[in-house]
Structure 1
């Protein structure tokens, strides 16, 4: 059954997507200011210099010109910089809300799940990445990745708007199925977590030892590993659900379609990362390289297959 398009909601969705890009860009600027001018991560060394233990006494003496509990370097930091990080987080939450509303209005405008083509899928994938970042920020304190995640989300949305955008409308009959809510949703959530891991891995490799204000390599590796540990079983479920959907739609579980092949290759790559880290002791640079290879497989599966290769999944409506 063909659903009529609500032009007003479709236009509102497009406008909210553009507003989301701007909000993520402003948030990225706030995170960058927080990294560049906020409190340095090497506070322990600065605070160590203010502890003067006397023989038979245990009181601390603050260095001249500093306040209690504050090192001279922190006092010299402009007052406005302490608000850069919280403001950036607030802008990210506002952008997240606008992002979510843009997805909901897109779906409501056509009366279906709002990931029936490449444009909608990339928009949803960027939303999942920001959601994963916000969750991990609340749970694990990963605000230090804000500048990099928000710029990745803004670039992804900008690419979708510029090169993948199609007008809201009905989808092919094969996509009018409850399996969209199961298979595609799982793939989107896992992809968002893998993007978090990929951003952490790239930053790990390009980070210099002298960049004291950037997150440490240990923190980056920890974030990447946690994201993959959460995302891998979800991706596994997405692959299994895709096989079940294929059997219902085409009468077979596996047909060597390019999308199926690369989804499985991506699964093998991330399984290889987890196996190498757990058994062979892969850590540090070697582990990051392995997971970035897996991340490359993921990106090619999500974008490259639909644009460059054909097959039964070629109904992505790439303009």
Structure 2
């Protein structure tokens, strides 16, 4: 069937609109992160100085509600914009599918679009609590970078997929891998922030500029739990994606495994995340050592996505790049 150019254009506009709103949310969240200390200090000064608080002064009177700190208002606006951007982001994926009359995961542009949508949804769900919202800005930064690369270097016009990808395995295998990759992005950022947070000894967070910066993050234990929780979700998804990819390879190429560069790096990535989960449950490894392994898995996943797809030639060379 011919490509629906109108829906393809709507998909591109949805993607561009979501990207713009992500950037606006990012600006608000940066402002929120910068204002956390000032708001906290201001609140303490009011309490410490005995500043009067509005109370009921008569029958039927209701005390004036205290105005939320600036940081909370900025965080709320940024979070609301994230939800709006995600709606447009998902619309871009769906419209691309209708425009091409296929599942929209046939090239790197579409894969990154799906993976970043999964990362955003994971962030919205798991970082909705006030104590965790300062982390949103650090998750949003790589999402924006990946979307920028998708819209520029990785962009591919709406078109039918190559014959090798015309299989019912495409929506199964690639969706699982892309969603798992998006969740692992959140896990990798959480471990990086955990390593930054744990380096600041208790009581000394404000002695240096880096310490003051890190003190605004969620506590190290919460970051470590988030990294572990997201990996527990994504690890079986990623593993299932590798296994299903092997089954597809047997149907398409007549063998389950051929040590193609993409297959090899996917397996290495899966092994590193398995090592992280093992280290996380092992005494003496569950803090910084396990976090570094998780960061290593995240770097390997990015290497597999960009270098293997764009530089190394193999049977999985379906990036859709000119």
TM-score of the two chains, using structure 1 as the length reference: 0.86
- 1:29-79 deviation digits (Å, cap 9, x = unpaired): 222222221478989x959x97xxxxxxxxxxx75115389xxxxx8x985
Instruction: Answer with 137-146 or 101-110: which moved more.
Output: 137-146
Give the conservation status (yes or no) of the 8 Å contact 1:24–1:91: yes
1:146 aligns with 2:124: no
* Correspondence for 2:169: 179
1:191 aligns with 2:181: yes
Determine the C-alpha separation between the residues in 2 that align with 1:254 and 1:139: 43
Q: Structure 2: which 5+ residue stretches go unaligned?
A: 56-65, 198-209
* Equivalence map 1:118-133=2 (5 Å): 118-133=108-123
Determine the C-alpha separation between the residues in 1 that align with 2:238 and 2:129: 22
Could you tell me which of 34, 37, 43 is aligned with 2:35?
Answer: 37
Determine the C-alpha separation between the residues in 2 that align with 1:14 and 1:302: 22
Could you tell me which of 269, 272, 275 is aligned with 2:272?
Answer: 269
Determine the C-alpha separation between the residues in 2 that align with 1:248 and 1:164: 28
Residues 20 and 260 of structure 1, relative CA distance in 2, 3 Å threshold: same
Residues 20 and 288 of structure 1, relative CA distance in 2, 3 Å threshold: same
Determine the C-alpha separation between the residues in 2 that align with 1:114 and 1:41: 44
1:12 aligns with 2:10: yes
TM-aligned CA deviation for residue 277 of structure 1: 1.4
Determine the C-alpha separation between the residues in 2 that align with 1:110 and 1:135: 30
TM-score of the two chains, using structure 2 as the length reference: 0.85
Equivalent residue pairs, number: 298
Could you tell me which of 23, 26, 29 is aligned with 2:24?
Answer: 26
Give the conservation status (yes or no) of the 8 Å contact 1:269–1:293: yes
Q: Structure 1: which 5+ residue stretches go unaligned?
A: 51-61, 70-74
* Correspondence for 2:190: 200
Determine the C-alpha separation between the residues in 2 that align with 1:141 and 1:108: 40
Determine the C-alpha separation between the residues in 1 that align with 2:90 and 2:134: 23
* Correspondence for 2:78: 88
Determine the C-alpha separation between the residues in 2 that align with 1:221 and 1:42: 25
Could you tell me which of 31, 50, 62 is aligned with 1:64?
Answer: 50
* Correspondence for 2:248: 245
Instruction: Answer with 109-118 or 215-224: which moved more.
Output: 215-224
Could you tell me which of 164, 181, 198 is aligned with 2:154?
Answer: 164
- 1:62-109 deviation digits (Å, cap 9, x = unpaired): 75115389xxxxx8x985443111111110000000000001111110
SS at 2:211 equivalent: coil
Residues 154 and 222 of structure 1, relative CA distance in 2, 3 Å threshold: same
- 1:220-245 deviation digits (Å, cap 9, x = unpaired): 21111111111101111111111111
* Correspondence for 2:60: none
Superposed CA RMSD: 2.6
Give the conservation status (yes or no) of the 8 Å contact 2:39–2:69: no
Could you tell me which of 286, 289, 295 is aligned with 2:298?
Answer: 295
Determine the C-alpha separation between the residues in 1 that align with 2:251 and 2:165: 12
